Amino acid sequence: MIKELELWRGDLTVQPEHFGGWSLGARFYPMLYLLTRVENARDFCSGLILKESLLGRLSRLEVHHIFPKALLYNHGYKKDQVNAVANFCLLTQDCNLEISNRNPAEYLPLCEARNPGVLASQWIPTDPILWQVENYPDFLEARKTLLAEAANTFLARLLHGERAPLDTGRLLAPVTASIGIPGGIESDEEERLIRECNDWVRSQGLPEGRLLYEIADPETGEPIAVLDLAWPSGLQERLSEPVALLIGEEKETLEAANKAGFSYFTDIDDFKRYVREKILVFEPHPGRIVQ
C-alpha cells in the first residue's frame, strides 16, 4: 500500500493543509483518529492513554471541539471554521461532559496542570496566546502543523522505522482540503441518530450501511461529497437501487448524491417507511413484530 501511495502521490509527505478540512467527513479526520489511538494521546481530564485496550467500557471516544461551537459562533466565525478538523480532539465521554462548553483559555491550563504533557500528547499548541478566541485562526494554523508533523512521523516509522521531519518547503499537488468536501456528520447527536438508524436496518435482517461514504469523480478520483449513511449496492444488493440517508445536508450534497445515482432521504421516518414498503415486502406472520 505504501509503495502504491508513493507511485501515485510521489511520496508520503503530509502537509499542514491536509488537515484544513472541516466536519467529520473531511478526508483527514480518520488520520486524527488514528494518531489519537496509536501515538499515546491522553485524555485531558484523567491523563489516561487513549488506547482501546486500556479503556475497557469507555473505549468509544467522543469528538470534542477544543474551542466550543457557541463561543466561536458568538465571535462571528463561520461553520467551516467552527467545525475545522484542527479544532477537534478525542476524549472520553466523562471528560467531554466535564469540559462542556468552557473557554479553552480557562480549561486548557487546568488540564495541563493536572496532567503535565497532556496538551502536547494531543498536538495542542502550548502558547497561551493561541488559546484566546480572537487568535483562533492562528491556533488552527499552529495545530495543523503539529498534526502534519505527527502524521509524517507515524508514516515514516511504518516505512523506515525512523522519524522524517516535515519538509514544509516541498509541496505536492495543490491541496483543496481547506475548501471542505460537502456532507459529513457534524455533531454527536447527528451521529447518534444515524447509528441508531443503521442498527435498526440491521435488526431487519438487511445489510448495514456505510458510514461517511465518499462519492468520488469517476475520472479523476477527487472527492465530491460525503454521504452520512449509504448503501451503494442497495439495501438488497444488486436488486435495489443505491440509497442514502442524509441528515441536515445542504443542496450541494443532495445534488451530488442524486448525480451519483443515489435515491436519498433526509428524514429518518421517511427512510424507514421506504424500507418497510419497498424492501421488506412480506405478509406479516402471527406473533411477528414489525418495528
Length of the chain: 291
* pLDDT for the residue 111: 96
* pLDDT for the residue 188: 67
Cα separation of 240 and 228, whole Å?
A: 19
* pLDDT for the residue 92: 87
Q: pLDDT digits over 78-113, tens only?
A: 888 888 999 999 998 889 889 988 999 999 999 999
* pLDDT for the residue 60: 64
**C-alpha cell recorded at residue 166:** 516535515
* pLDDT for the residue 174: 33
Query: By the 8 A CB rule, do 264 and 257 touch?
Result: yes
**C-alpha cell recorded at residue 273:** 417507511
Alpha helices in 186-276 (DSSP H): 188-203, 251-259, 268-274
* pLDDT for the residue 7: 64
Q: pLDDT digits over 196-227, tens only?
A: 999 999 999 999 888 878 787 777 666 688 88
* pLDDT for the residue 220: 66
Task: Please list the residues that pair with 90 across neighbouring strands.
Answer: 63
Query: By the 8 A CB rule, do 6 and 12 touch?
Result: yes
Domain spans, the chain: 2-179, 188-279
Q: Nearest 5°: phi and psi at 28? A: -100, 5
Nearest to 242 by CA among 220, 282, 202, 215: 215
Cα separation of 211 and 187, whole Å?
A: 14
Alpha helices in the chain (DSSP H): 2-9, 29-38, 52-55, 69-74, 79-82, 93-99, 104-114, 118-121, 136-159, 188-203, 251-259, 268-274
Number of Cβ atoms within 10 Å of the Cβ of 157: 14
* pLDDT for the residue 161: 62
**Coil, strand, or helix at residue 22?**
strand
* pLDDT for the residue 179: 41
Cα separation of 255 and 276, whole Å?
A: 25
**Mean pLDDT for the chain overall:** 82
How, if at all, do strands 62-65 and 88-91 pair? Answer: antiparallel
Nearest to 154 by CA among 52, 255, 268, 30: 30
**C-alpha cell recorded at residue 119:** 496538551
* Per-position pLDDT tens, the chain of length 291: 666 666 666 667 888 888 887 776 677 888 898 899 889 899 999 998 987 555 555 556 788 999 998 899 999 998 888 889 999 999 988 898 899 889 999 999 999 999 999 999 999 999 999 999 999 999 999 999 999 999 998 888 887 665 444 443 333 333 333 345 677 777 768 888 998 999 999 999 999 888 878 787 777 666 688 888 999 989 987 678 999 999 988 898 999 999 999 999 999 999 999 999 989 875 444 444 445
**C-alpha cell recorded at residue 194:** 444515524
* pLDDT for the residue 180: 55
Query: By the 8 A CB rule, do 49 and 95 touch?
Result: no
Distances (CA, A) of 19 to 71, 146, 157, 175: 22, 10, 20, 10
Query: By the 8 A CB rule, do 216 and 222 touch?
Result: yes
